[in-house]
Structures are given as structure tokens and as C-alpha cells.
Amino acid sequence: MLKTNEAHIVEFLLQCQPGQPRTRGNWEVDHHGIPFILPSIGGITLNVQVGDSAFGWQGDHIEPGVSCTADTQKPYEHPNVGVQIYSCAGNIATVVTGEAKGAEGRVLGHHGGSEHVIVDFPREVKEKLLYSDTIIIRGKGQGLQLVDYGDIALFNLDPALLGAMKIQEVEEGVLEVPVTTIVPAVCMGSGIGSAHVAKGDYDIMTSDAETVRDYGIDKIRFGDFVALLDHDNRYGRAYRKGAVTIGIVVHSDCREAGHGPGVTTLMTCASPLIHPVIDPEANIADRLGFGTMLKR
């Protein structure tokens, strides 16, 4: 078992609510120059959940489950900034008002730009939700550290999810981390250069069909753990040869240039101390038993 400082990390109660689906209200243009009007970010998305494919939807930047903010009118201000930073993948979320009161879900991650925390609930729960309902997230994970692996930084990661990821210590200073997909540095797009990764995400570009096929990117599911090669996320999102970042997929493929499935950072190191290994079940739904796992 990996030793962490879990006993010393802070746990908050974070309050948020579902946000209505957003639209720019006009034509958008894809990377082929074709205009489109399709569903996009936000909403209580009834028929899309963690474990489903991130590809094939008639939409752009689709967020599975329930997209939450603390204040839908002020996404870049307090208190929403705190909800974004302190909500971590794997955190438990509970509905505390309305017909769905008492139902529990799980945080998937953050979507930058829309400034949403994405929470998975079963469809029968989502059918009962209102946009005025209140959801409480047990925010726990920021500040989590690996005691014996000081060069590997953790972000946005609930300790319980870390324990469920089936990470193995294979040699001194190296961790073997199961992922569904290994993504080359050249594929990373929108979000590169952000100052830090404690909120938001960045995108795996999918405009080159041959590269998408070669690396199996089109097989990615919502909630997959993926490895981003030669990307150092310790102090922002940057290219660094030999670095490795592990992230979780939080939104769908996209039609806009420079975009694709969005990834929230979970683990990162500046040198190859993380060794990714392919495991088709390296997905938060499979590891924690929610999302599409409930259909099986």
C-alpha cells in the first residue's frame, strides 16, 4: 500500500448546484470549417454517464452526469473557485434538497472554461433533480502526497480513488500506473500553458484521424485514466521530455480545432518515475463501482 499524508489533509463540505446547459446561441465551426449547432457543456445530462464512450455523441464538449457550480452567474469568482479547486476526483457528492434528497454520486473532475465540477449520479437520480437543488461535495484530496515518492505530485485526487487505482511499486522510485490509453505529447491542445492544474482540464486534440486511430484515442471513455507522455503538470501544463502525467477524462470529443476529450490531472512527474501500463478497466467507474458499472 502506498504511504500518504492522508491523515493531515483537509476535508471541506462544498455546496453547489446543477447548471443549465450552455450555448453560445450561434453557429460554431469545426476543424473542417463546417458550421454546427449542437449540445455542448453543462446540464443534467440524462443519457450520458461515466464509463460511456467519450466519442460518437452529437455534441461538443459534452459533460456526463451533472455539471455543478457554486454560482452559475459568477463562475470565475468566489465561491465557485473554491468549489472547483477543492473538489477532487472520487469525492462523494450528496443531494440535500428536493425529490432526490439523500442520493449519492461521485465527482469525476473539473472542466475548465465552463468552470464546472462534474458529478456522476444514476439516471433515476438525475430524473428527479432540479436546477435549484443543492448538492454537497465532501471535498478531500488537494494536498495529498506520496510519502516515499516526493518527485511525483498529486492533484485533484481523493485518497480513496488513489487506493483503488491498482498502482504498483515496481522498483525503487518508480510506480506502475494502469491506464487505458497512452497519449503522445503532440496530441495535447487547449489548456496548455495554464498556471496550475488544481482546477480545469486540457484537451487531447482529435483533428488528425490517423493519429487518433494509431494511439487508440477513439476508444477513450468518460472516466478513463490516461497517460500523457512528455507533459509536466507540476507548475502548470508544459512540455518536458521524459515527464509523465496521469489524468482522468472528464468531457467528450470535440469538433472545434485544438480540442478533444478533456483531461483533469491526477498525478505528474518531471522524469519517467511513472510507468503507464495498459489496462482496459483503468476507469473510475470500474474502480469505484458506479456509472456504467451499475448496468452490468
The pLDDT tens digits of the residues spanning 245-261 come to 999 999 999 999 999 99
List phi, psi (to 5°) of 153: -95, 145
> What does the radius of gyration of the chain's CA atoms come to, in whole angstroms?
18
The pLDDT tens digits of the residues spanning 197-218 come to 999 999 999 999 999 999 999 9
pTM across the whole model: 0.97
pLDDT attached to residue 291: 87
Is 153-295 a CATH 2.102.30.10 domain? Answer: yes
pLDDT attached to residue 24: 87
Point out the least confidently predicted range of 24-28, 131-135, 200-204: 24-28
pLDDT attached to residue 295: 64
pLDDT attached to residue 1: 83
**Would you call 123 helix, strand, or coil by DSSP?**
helix
Q: Compute the average pLDDT of residues 4-19.
A: 98
- State which CATH number among 1.10.730.10, 3.30.930.10, 2.40.10.170, 2.50.20.10 fits the domain covering 8-140: 2.40.10.170
Task: Give the residue range(s) of CATH 2.102.30.10 domains in the chain.
Answer: 153-295
Inform me whether the pLDDT recorded for 186 exceeds 80: yes
**Would you call 140 helix, strand, or coil by DSSP?**
strand
Inform me whether the pLDDT recorded for 82 exceeds 80: yes
Give every strand in the sheet of 168-171, ordered side by side: 168-171, 174-179, 274-278
DSSP string, 206-240: ---HHHHHHTTGGG-BTTBEEEEEEEE-TTSSEEE
pLDDT attached to residue 292: 82
Inform me whether the pLDDT recorded for 296 exceeds 60: no
Task: Give the residue range(s) of CATH 2.40.10.170 domains in the chain.
Answer: 8-140
pLDDT attached to residue 72: 86
Confidence class for position 171, pLDDT limits 50, 70, 90? confident
Q: Compute the average pLDDT of residues 280-296.
A: 88
Can you tell me the distance from the alpha carbon of 296 to that of 192, in angstroms, rounded to the nearest whole number? 37
CB 93 within 8 A of CB 18: no
